[in-house]
Structure 1
Amino acid sequence: MEQQLLGYEDTLYILDRTEHIAGRFDRVVQFVHYCTSDLAHQAEFVTQPLEQIRPYLRRGGFEYMACIVEFEHDLPLASTLIERWRPEPHTFQLSCRKMTITLQDVAYQLELKIDSDPVSGCICGWEQQHQGRTIEELHQQLLGAISGPDDRQSQIRWTVKLTWFHNTVCGELEQDATVERLLRYTRRYIMKLIGGILFPDASDSRVHIRWLPLLEDLEMCGGLSWGLTVLAWLYCQMCCATEHRQCNLGGCINLLLSWAYHHIPLLRPDGFDTCRFLLVERWVHYLPDNAKGEGRLRNYISTLNGIGMLNTPYADLQLIGLVPLMIAEAEASAAVVCPLLCFAIVEWHQVDRVVHQFGSLQHILTKPLNIDKMHKLNGWFGRDEWFLQLLGGWHELWNARADHRLHIHHHIDLRPSLPYMVSAVGAHGVVRSG
């Protein structure tokens, strides 16, 4: 295998002294091969929902997610982007500047809420946190069935195989199905969406039961900031995927790829020029040729090495009239430096490093917030705790996010200013993009 250096190893941030996947071409190729089998395995369990449950999906805030279950992943592109991801600033290191996926992107791409309470709860300790009900009782009450030991990762870890939800959901519903039957069917389907589309992890085809209690009241569920949590989970999974020893990629890959198609026009597939909302639905019928993974990987690396200035995609006149009022109103709160929360996961929304994505001139960067301690915990600490209390300080920061909103002054010319370019000169006398 060719040992081709990518050319910027000396600028890498290495989280907790962990070797980054970037640096040699053969490492990224290996990552593509693993992702090809694992991501395809996860997504194959999610199918289009029955019309009978769409009203309930709408109540829970997941109706539009059912529109993208046929989204095919361009795995070489996903791998190329991961190779450019830097865990410390939470940005992609591109030749022209840094970029990242923001709350604004989540709102536009997925139409998920980004401006309400975070999705949280507990991982264990069910009786203490859910009115004395055991996990088996929650299973039976909310789903109408209990997964067996062979359908879980282990006897004590309630990480259930997606095949169990697939096998219990895919049957037909009676025309005169009761409300309770429809609700249970809907919850099973949402668990498949969570494990296969929105929050897949590197386990390849399992979903943790932590999400189930959130689906008990669909009205309350629909009021949560699922977009915030999707982004926190994706950040966490991408940070994990940068490690050289990590072979799988989790997170909402649909969001990652649709973000790249919209922000970097040279990556867009041909023939998909019609804008629609939600934006991720634009690419649903694109069928990438993942069989030619290594060759396409080389092309994507070459493309990212040569891109120049990029425009702000959401200023496109074609989007006027397509964007719902709810998204337009939420966008005002997207340019904010704040924590991203998902149960025990804490990531950081460092949009002060990418203000050009909002149409403003990039100011001189300061050192990014160090959240290595939270990364090392890997989202599994405090298993019996109620995370809204255990991470109360981080939730208070989220609630006070309006105090940390950036003042965006729109500019036509977004080229870096001279003071910024001077500040970006590195120790070796080379101007680094930012």
Structure 2
Amino acid sequence: MYKSRTHLRLLKEWQPVDAVIQRLEGTGFDLVHRINMDYRTTIDFLLALIDHYSVDLSCFIIGDQRITPKLDDVARITGFPIDVLPVLGRDYKANECPDVCNELLLSPELLHPKKRCDVILRKLLPFKNILPVLVGAGLDPYVRAYVLYVIGCFLTPPRGHSSVPCMYLSLLRDVDAIRNYAWGAALLCQLHHSMAEFKRAMIDGKNPQVMSFCAPFLTVFFYEHIPIIPCTLYDVDIYKENFEERELFSIFPLMMGWSHAVERKSKNSYIKKKREEFDVMLTNENIVWQPYARLPDNFLPHYLVG
């Protein structure tokens, strides 16, 4: 059974309080809670996309055209920064991790019993219960825990579903500096790395099962560029003038509008398609090369405008 390691339903368990959202303003992490966590990711669609992915060219081949998500797509769809410092965490040694967790997350008990350099995602959940009196530096461990949780569930989900590497904590020490890292670039890097890894395993006949990338981002990218797909699956046509929810698709970040519209439509009109049926839609003629032309000039907030 194929699985995507993007855990929107796990994210649904943690709705951050206003104080945390305010501390994370301008980081992209402050926007994640606005996504509809019931958003449907179609595994057969992801498998069809992997069939069209070229490991050598790091892009998708649709017909005779090359198409691939770029940093600008990440910014518009997710709201994560793309053009600041690289996300290069420190690889802590196993004997260092308890002290790091104790300092930055107030407890060494969050570590995986076998993977001593990983934090167990579910052990971060108690941090969602914040005392109202906490302000300033007292709030920092709760902010770090939420960011780490989003990284493991959504941004760069690891192949193992239950934990997230401690290395990210080195980037979260200064909570006010979280906005200085290109988390969107990390998302894109993980996408291509995981796509290539999965495709190579398929070519080698290893029958891989887990896709460890931000699947909601990739699906929205292709919904934007090949609109016949959401139109066929969910009866969502963003180019139809009298489409009742058209305004949702001009709200920043684009993933928010798509997640809410698709989920509402899927309850009533979702049409399940097999993997092979998506090939009929993945053609040159169906590609829209400039889908963002409909967006206003001030669509991106200031922190994403270079």
TM-score when scaled to structure 1?
0.59
Shift of 1:73: 2.0
Cα distance between partner residues in 2 of 1:113 and 1:306: 31
Secondary structure, aligned partner of 1:207: strand
Q: Deviations over 1:332-375 (max 9, x none)?
A: xxxxxxxxxxxxxxxxxxxxxxxxxxxxxxxxxxxxxxxxxxxx
SS in 2 for 1:262: helix
**Which residue does the alignment assign to 2:241?**
none
Alignment partner of 1:158 is 2:117: yes
Judging changes above 3 Å, is the alpha-carbon distance between structure 1 residues 267 and 295 closer, same or farther for their aligned structure 2 residues? Answer: closer
- Select the residue among 148, 161, 168 that pairs with 1:211: 168
- Say if 2:187 is the partner of 1:230: yes
2:5 paired with 1:39: yes
Q: Secondary structure at the match of 2:108?
A: coil
What's the secondary structure of 1:283's corresponding residue? helix
1:87 aligns with 2:55: yes
Tell me how many residue pairs correspond in the alignment.
280
- Stretches of structure 1 that go unaligned for 5 or more consecutive residues are 1-32, 128-133, 331-434
Distance in 2 between residues matched to 1:94 and 1:126, nearest whole Å: 44
2: CA distance between counterparts of 1:165 and 1:175?
19
Matched, 1:273 2:246: yes
Please state how far the C-alpha of 1:190 moved relative to its aligned partner.
0.8
Q: 2:156 aligns with which of 187, 199, 207?
A: 199
> What is the TM-score with the length of structure 2 in the denominator?
0.82
Matches within 5 A, 1:255-404: 255-268=217-230, 269-271=234-236, 272-274=245-247, 275-285=250-260, 286-287=262-263, 288=266, 295-305=273-283, 307-316=285-294, 318-327=295-304, 329-330=305-306
Return the match for 2:68 from 100, 113, 118: 100
TM-fit CA distance, 1:325: 4.2
Q: 1:91 to 1:72 in 2, by over 3 A?
A: same
Preserved contact between residue 224 and residue 288 of structure 2 (Cα < 8 Å): no
In the TM superposition, residue 115 of structure 1 has moved relative to its aligned partner by 1.6
Distance 1:200 1:153 in 2: 19
Give 1:334's aligned residue: none
Distance 1:146 1:114, change over 3 A: same
Identity %: 21
Q: Which structure ranks higher in relative contact order (CA pairs < 8 Å, sequence separation ≥ 6)?
A: 2
Give me the CA root mean square deviation. Answer: 2.5
Q: Distance in 1 between matches of 2:113 and 2:64?
A: 44
Residue 32 (structure 2) pairs with residue 65 (structure 1) = yes
> What do residues 12-31 of structure 1 show as CA deviations (whole Å, max 9, x unaligned)?
xxxxxxxxxxxxxxxxxxxx
Q: Deviations 1:373-417 (Å, cap 9, x if unpaired)?
A: xxxxxxxxxxxxxxxxxxxxxxxxxxxxxxxxxxxxxxxxxxxxx
Q: In structure 1, what residue type is equivalent to 2:120?
A: K
Radius of gyration: which is bigger?
1
Distance (Å, rounded) in 2 between the aligned partners of 1:144 and 1:309: 50
Other-structure match for 1:406: none
Q: Residue type matched to 1:247 in 2?
A: Q
